[in-house]
Structure 1
Amino acid sequence: MTWTLRAGAVALIAGAMALSGCSSNSSNGNASGNAGASAGASGSGDQGTTETAKLTWFSDVSGWNPPSPWNSDPASVEGTITSKTGLSFEFNIPAQDAGTKLSLMLVSSDKLPDVISISDGTLIKKLIQADKVWKLDEFLQKYDPDSPLLSKFPEDIKQALIERDGGWYAYPSHMDSTDARELYPPSSDFYNDFAKFRSNGAIMFNEQIMEQAGIAADELTTEAGVLAALEKVKGMTFNGSPVIPLQIDGKEYAGMSVGGLGHGGTLGVLESMFGAMPVDKDGNYRDIILAPETKNAIDFLYEAAKLGAFDPSQMTTDDTATKAAVKSGRVFAFIGNTADTGFTDEDAATTWTTPGPVQSSQNAKPVFGKSLKAGTGWLSTFISKSAPHPELIAKWLDFMTSDEGLLLNYYGFEGTDYALEDGLAVQTDQGLKDAANYSTTGVFAFWPFHNIAWHDHATKEPTIAKGADGLMARTVQTTIGKASEVYDTTPLQMPSDFIEAGSKMANNQMQIKTYLEAQVSKMVLAKDEASRDQTYEETIAKIKQMGLDEINAKINEQFHKQEQSLGVTVIGINS
């Protein structure tokens, strides 16, 4: 399935990328391939710089917790960035309503933050229309004409950004495309697997509790088998604490959207495994809530709730609580966004596996939606036209995107956090711990500059289970995709603000979304099947009255236009 990234984005995320919440005060290949050209650009080589300045860095991703305050110690990741570029940063990452706060800055006399890393497509459009941010190529040509970014940026991703924004304004995070992999060929077939099939959305099972309960992997390949296993582990203990049979994805478990590719969280994973698509057998778009397989996914959660596999309080918890439960080792099964769990962290108490997609009781084919066209990454980073010290910002961009900067960002310090074997990075045990504690150490902290293609080029195939790109991550995050029917989601991706913000249709979308969030929970916690099914039928009738058919018709028209222009046809595989 493709991860929806309330954080946006989606389906383009790297496996270790987490996707959500903090405040501005929180603390929180061959690597030598082109290091000479990149690391030395604009004088950002070993001598460093003597000029220093502090800038503000804004983000709408509340779950991003870079170290704050900035650590000026030259032996730290942040201090090294300062010594190489002359910049330090004060972060402004609102815990909520970040989009509203940035929108108010755009219409007021307030100075914009100097660097802006955002995921919301509507916010990106507003920022560009206000003419407050630089076109990246114009900025570099003016302040750093020898920048490697002007000659060594993936052309297909640049074109995707130009199509989205009307120009090359943003540096995108988590880049991965045909051209990106020509610049940075994968170091092994291991990373080819990740490129083709990786998704944060998965179902996974605790291997230690499986062994303790005598449950084999092949018992977990069907809906009935999983429900039976959840029943079996009820009442067990692990390390003296009660086992949690099923952990759902907290308050984002239903990942509700209206007019998107599908849902996120637990419901989205179940939809994918149970074969739901936002396109019917006639090849027409319809919101995925109308797919019969989505009803099957809701029914599964109803059955799990009915047998007491999870406490209803899980439906309102945050990512921190979900992560703590999974890492404790008490959870038997998790369904949802694995980036919310810390399951690969060095200090996680147990190991995890997945047998692949769970076969629904309706025997529909599992599906795996993936855009096969170059995308625009997850976070888009912009430079404000009002930002001081543009020459230093250009130097900083060069360093953060160079091999030297990316090694520092991803892995920290050679000899302590990683070693080079045959020119490829290998994390040490200390490096794994530092990456897990990125809010304190700075290792793996600078998500806006994560580059999937570079990572897969510069990193040695792992031999250990844990770690964001270890053997366990490969099993959990690629097995479902490999065993599913893959379809191209590119024609289904609507232009930013396709349904104009503030319009009647946009308001209808928001009202339907809010209504569905409440109704799905009512279905999951219904007292019996008759109540569940009645609620479902009433819900579908109500959202059509609220304007869902008109929304579907508008999206369907654009969907067919995009199919024609792309030469791609998408047909419903099941219903």
Structure 2
Amino acid sequence: MKRMKPLALCGLLALSLLVTACGGSGSPDGNAGNAASPLPDTAGADSGKLDQAVWFSSIDFWNPPATWNTDPKSVQGAISEATGLSFEFNIPAQDGDTKLNLMLVSGKDFPDVLTVTNDVMVKKLIQSGKVWDLEEFLTKYDPESHILKDFPADVKAVIEERDGGFYSYPSHINSADARSVYPPSGEFYVDLVDYASNLGIMVNGSILEQIGMTLEDIRTEEGLLAAYDKAKGLKVDGTPVIPLLVDGKGYQDTTLKFLQDTFGAMVVDKDGTYRDLLLAPETKDALSFLNQSMRSGYFEPGQMTVDNAAVKADVASGRVFTFIGNTANTSFQLNDYWQSSGPILSAGGKAPTLDKSQRAGGGWMKTLISKDTKYPEKLAKWLSYMTSKEGMMLHIYGFEGEHYTLDDKGLLVKTEKGLKDAADYMNTAVSAIWPFHHTTFSYSVQQPPTEETDKEAVTANKVQAAYGKDKETHIYDSSALSLPADLFPANSDNANIETQIKAYKEAQIAKIVMSKTDDEFNRLYDELIDQLKKLGIEKLDAERNLYIQQKSDEYGVHTKGINS
């Protein structure tokens, strides 16, 4: 692994390490002095009844139990007992942002709690005046909330810079300020912070053994394609092996993005000037890999249209040889035959790249509170509880003695039931409340896992850290390279250009991947570049470059491309 500069405990991107965060960890003792003030046991009883709030989310693959369990011996029931609230989930199977936009326009059936990922949607909610600034909300309804006292300052600064105020509570907090309170409990978690990435290639070790090859054999583009050819003729339980599984209908953002990275693409050139990743010459290599795989029958076109549930089902089937994309959304860790060869070294010899921001993230999932809610006091107490040590120990890990125990250092060790119930979170609710998972907390309070104590976490670490830890991978600081979702104001010329480019590139990339000959591939790729320029991509890039140069000076981080 090559670095531009030493990376200590750098902050992970908001989307980072969903697998291990959701499989999570937590424990009291070692950080007792920094623990949040526990909510009084009678908090839920203040009104004398249990109220039901509506919780909307646009994340269609987040699947907490469909019906809230009010049994106090269940995780959800214990939350209700502590807060006086139960929840009805409204999670559309698709087009969640569209449905939320319609709610905003109609003003009807507006939910009490909203969890979204889209930064532009967050801005719309704020501009609508329908959601609370959390500082104002908590000051009014729960002035003793720990959030007002101990929320990580570096994360809050990022949120306020992005949104103009502290309007949303972020999921998977992981930052330097958070680590000053909750330091990693062992090197296992240091590896996750420094090297792990959700995007990557994972390899079915059982099938790899059957074809007589090793991880070292498939580290190169040539070697991997040769392995695909061998795996193509195999069957598992009478069903043909899938040599390559791409990441469903989101493949352009995940599968293609990893291939761009591993073949050496960066959003800045050798002069440090911004350019859309599609204009990086390494993108052609990434598209060529997908096209060769398609033409050779290593993956079927239909894979590019399916949803996440179908991807998960294939990953769990045992007949997928490799998956390339967002490993975090596959539940791969449930089967310990998954491994990773790290990078795919391109035939052109360019160095693989991995962007790691050293700035705090502002949250992958962002949770907001409606001003229309009938239960502001209870929701304030609930928000404080769910983000407290007591609350996180409950909703991430379950019940002490049943789902986990504490070792002689006060670190959490999951029981067999704890592991089983976390895997079955859609029914048990153990580890199901992703919007309040706290990565730094988990890495601090859980005993570093071993094959014996938590094979799933070990499997996840091996797969997700393999790319970053590889000696060939060039890790660079991308702190100044992240663009705000609303860099171009809505309905502006640039926003319209951006919309046109998005629609065009999605269709054209699919055509390129499905090209039947080399000549057709080259023709369609040249069309892509020519049309992007005609649509105005260079105009957008000029504006983006101004932004990243400003941020580069502000952060003191000037990044340059290493391959082109």
TM-score by length of 2: 0.92
Q: Partners of 2:558 and 2:41 in 1: how far apart? A: 47
Q: Which runs of 5+ in 2 are unaligned?
A: 2-10
Partner in structure 2 of residue 25 of structure 1:
none
What amino acid is the match of 2:14? L
Which residue pairs with 1:113 in the alignment?
A: 111
- Shift, 1:488, TM fit: 1.9
Aligned to 1:570: 559
What are the equivalent positions in structure 2 for 1:175-194 lying under 5 Å apart?
Answer: 175-194=173-192
Cα distance in structure 2, aligned partners of 1:324 and 1:106: 35
The CA deviation at 1:537 is: 0.3
2:358 alignment partner, one of 326, 347, 372 = 372
Q: Aligned match of 1:495 in 481, 484, 490?
A: 484
Structure 2 counterpart of 1:31, from 28, 32, 40: 28
CA drift at 1:561: 1.2
Cα–Cα, structure 1 residues 100 and 216, in superposed 2: closer, same or farther, change >3 Å? Answer: closer
Partner of 2:40: 43
Could you say which residue in structure 2 is the equivalent of 1:549? 538
Q: Cα gap change, 1:353/1:42 in structure 2, threshold over 3 Å: closer, same or farther?
A: closer
Q: Which residues of 2 match residues 164-203 of structure 1 at below 5 A?
A: 164-203=162-201
Map of 1:286 onto structure 2: 275
Where do 5+ consecutive residues of structure 1 fail to align?
A: 2-8, 20-28, 256-264
Contact 1:274 1:366 in 2 (8 A): yes
Q: CA RMSD in A?
A: 2.3
Q: Which residue of 2 aligns with 1:395?
A: 381
| Shift in CA distance, 353/290, structure 1 to aligned 2, threshold 3 Å | same
Q: Does 1:361 align with 2:341?
A: no
Tell me how far apart the structure 2 counterparts of residues 519 and 233 of structure 1 sit (CA, whole Å): 29
Conserved? CA contact 2:12–2:357, under 8 Å? no
Structure 1 counterpart of 2:468, from 481, 490, 495: 481
Q: Which amino acid aligns with 1:171?
A: Y
2:420 matched residue in structure 1:
433
CA distance in 2, matches of 1:84, 1:418: 20
User: What TM-score does the superposition give when structure 1 sets the normalisation length?
Assistant: 0.90
Residue in 2 that maps onto 1:5: none
Aligned mate of 1:11, from 10, 13, 30: 13
Kept in 1: contact 2:162–2:484 (CA 8 A): yes
Please tell me whether residue 301 in structure 1 is matched to residue 290 in structure 2.
Answer: yes
Candidates 230, 236, 239, aligned match of 1:238: 236
What's the secondary structure of 2:52's corresponding residue?
A: strand
Corresponding residue number in structure 2 for 1:421: 407
Q: Aligned residue for 1:57? A: 55
Deviation at 1:460, TM superposition (A): 1.0
| C-alpha distance in structure 1 between counterparts of 2:117 and 2:452, whole Å | 31
Deviations 1:490-536 (A, max 9, x none): 21222341111222322222222222122222222211111101110
Query: Structure 1 residues 45-54 or 399-408, which shifts more?
Result: 45-54
- Aligned partners of 2:98, 2:560: CA distance in 1, in Å? 38
Distance 1:18 1:248 in 2: 21
Q: Does the Cα contact within 8 Å between 1:15 and 1:469 map onto a contact in 2?
A: no
Moved more, 435-444 or 34-43: 34-43
Task: Look up the match of 1:260.
Answer: none
Alignment of 1:321-470 (within 5 A): 321-345=310-334, 348=335, 351-422=337-408, 423-464=410-451, 470=457
User: Matches of 1:178 and 1:411 in 2, distance apart?
Assistant: 24
- The whole-number CA distance in structure 2 between the counterparts of 1:275 and 1:178 is 28
Letter in 1 for 2:29: S
The answer as to whether partners of 1:401 and 1:449 remain within 8 angstroms in 2 is yes
Question: What is the aligned partner in structure 1 of residue 5 from structure 2?
Answer: none
In the other structure, the counterpart of 1:104 is 102
Distance apart, 1:87 and its partner CA: 0.6
Q: Helix, strand or coil: the match of 1:492?
A: coil
Q: How many residues align?
A: 547
Residues 174 and 451 of structure 1 are in contact (CA less than 8 Å); yes or no, is this contact kept in structure 2?
yes
Q: Which residue of 2 aligns with 1:209?
A: 207
Shift of 1:230: 0.6
Q: Distance in 1 between matches of 2:12 and 2:373?
A: 29
- CA separation in 2, counterparts of 1:453 and 1:223? 36
Instruction: State which of 90, 93, 100 in structure 2 corresponds to 1:92.
Output: 90
Q: Does 2:512 correspond to 1:515?
A: no
Taking the aligned partners of 2:121 and 2:301, their CA distance within structure 1 comes to 34
Contact 1:466-1:473 at 8 Å conserved across structures: no
Cα 1:466/1:302, change in 2 over 3 Å: farther
Q: 1:317 to 1:18 in 2, by over 3 A?
A: farther
Query: What SS does the aligned partner of 1:491 have?
Result: coil
Query: Residues 412-447 of structure 1: CA distance to partner in whole angstroms, max 9, x if unpaired?
Result: 222332222232222223222222221211111111
Q: In 2, distance between residues paired with 1:301 and 1:157?
A: 38
What letter is aligned with 1:323?
K
Gap change, CA 1:286 and 1:44, over 3 Å in 2: farther
Determine which structure has greater relative contact order: mean sequence separation of CA pairs < 8 Å that are 6+ residues apart, divided by chain length.
Answer: 2
Which deviates more, 360-369 or 427-436?
427-436
TM-superposed CA distance for 1:330, in Å, is 0.6
What displacement does 1:11 show?
3.0
CA distance, structure 2, for counterparts of residue 58 and residue 557 of structure 1: 37
How far residue 18 of structure 1 moved from its aligned partner, in angstroms, is: 10
Provide the C-alpha distance between the structure 2 equivalents of 1:276 and 1:443, rounded to a whole number of angstroms.
Answer: 39
Bigger Cα displacement from structure 2, 357-366 vs 389-398:
389-398
2:126 alignment counterpart: 128
Contact in 2 for aligned 1:467/1:473 (Cα 8 Å): no
Quick one: which amino acid aligns to residue 213 of structure 1? I
Residues 31 and 181 of structure 2 are in contact (CA less than 8 Å); yes or no, is this contact kept in structure 1? no
